[in-house]
Amino acid sequence: MKSIIFNQKLWIILIIALSVAFPFLTGQSSYFMSLFMMICIYSIASMSLNLLVGFGGQVSVGHAGFLIIGGYTVAILAATFQLPIWILLPIAGILTGIVGLLIGIPAVRLSGHFLAVATLGFGISIPQIALNWDTVTNGYAGLSVSRPELLSSDLNLFYFIVLVTLIVFWLVKNIVYSVFGRAFIAVRDSEVAAQSIGINVSFYKTIMFAISSFFTGIAGGLYAYWFGFVSPNDFSIMTSLLLLAGIIVGGLASISGAVIGAVFLTVIPHFTDAYIGITNIVIGIALILVIMFKPDGIVHLFNFSKKSVENQLEEETPLAAMEGGRAQNAKF
């Protein structure tokens, strides 16, 4: 029984099967399909943030800004040049990645709460820029986004976004297993030790921001396509804080944990939004309980590594990613 519960490949197959069947299980309900899409979008953003925070040890509380940049990039270029989605999404990721690179260059000299404050400023400023740059962003009114003809139906776009989410999951996992991922982990554990073995700490810190923001920009572009609209109020600083809370609850330095955190962030408001102020209270309580009783995150209740993953990275994780302390083994 345990071999079934802890089998990662089986879980992946079940998740894919659920994704394929979900629209039909819900009668193609627009509400529940949008809920599932938000899980996918937040999963991409959470995996990107976890790459930076969990694996790289660089605290960011401004990732909502990258979501806004990605969304507006798609909206503006789609309206101006009528470019197809398979061109617009990579462009959204690249432009957001360039912004992340520009943020990462000065951020390499910062760490801990100093870096958190710097990224907080970025996360606060981007919505304000989008709000006041009327000639480009249309201010409060926001911008509408037309779906491509091939993906004009909810069902087709639903499966496209699920496919993109799976591709990003695969890409992030391979990045973590690559030379880059091992360098990120080395920098997280000890910058001095990383430098002593020839790792260019400044370079890899900058690359972390660029890669993380690239994928987050794609998530913002997918959001714009699904809802057909983007505005400055779509992703506030609260979104950044919730993404950070989500990866802590799901599991730092865990790709699967980021997905669990995304589900957590999406499903809880579904049950609590009817009660004013309850959503943030429930998320806060869950965060406290996880830190107290399962600091590794919920994902570590499912110990996949013993059964299904060969050549697993043995590394340190959780709150140490933000504090620089010792940690547990990261699981995927």
What digits encode the pLDDT tens for the residues 15-51? 999 999 999 999 999 999 999 999 999 999 999 999 9
Note the pLDDT of residue 305: 43
Burial class (CB in 10 A: 0-12, 13-18, 19+), 286: middle
Q: How far apart are CA 326 and CA 331, in angstroms?
A: 16
Question: If pLDDT is split at 50, 70 and 90, which confidence band does 277 have?
Answer: confident
Decide: 267 and 166 in contact? Cβ < 8 Å. Answer: no
Contact 15, 140 (CB under 8 A): no
Q: Would you say residue 324 has pLDDT above 90?
A: no
Between CA 132 and CA 145 the distance in angstroms is 20
- Closest by CA to 22, choosing from 157, 155, 160, 163, is 155
Give the confidence band of 4 by pLDDT, cuts at 50, 70, 90.
low
The CA-based dihedral angle spanning residues 26, 29, 31, 36, taken in that order and rounded to the nearest 10 degrees: 50
pTM here is 0.90
In one-letter notation, the amino acid at residue 211 is: I
Q: Average pLDDT in the 206-223 region?
A: 97
Give me the mean pLDDT over the 212-239 stretch: 96
Q: What is the residue-averaged pLDDT of the chain?
A: 88
Least confident of 4-13, 227-236, 259-268: 4-13
Residue burial 187-200, b: 16+ Cβ < 10 Å; e: rest:
bbbebeebeeeebe
pLDDT at residue 309 is higher than 50: no
How far apart CA 222 and CA 227 sit, in angstroms, is: 9
For 152-201, what is each residue's pLDDT tens digit? 999 999 999 999 999 999 999 999 999 999 999 999 999 999 999 999 99
Please give the Cα distance from 232 to 147 (Å, whole number).
20
**Which DSSP string corresponds to 89-129?**
HHHHHHHHHHHHHHHHHHHTT--HHHHHHHHHHHHHHHHHH
pLDDT at 82 over 80: yes
Say if residue 126's pLDDT is above 80: yes
Distances (CA, A) of 203 to 189, 193, 200: 16, 15, 5
Mean pLDDT for 128-150 is 93
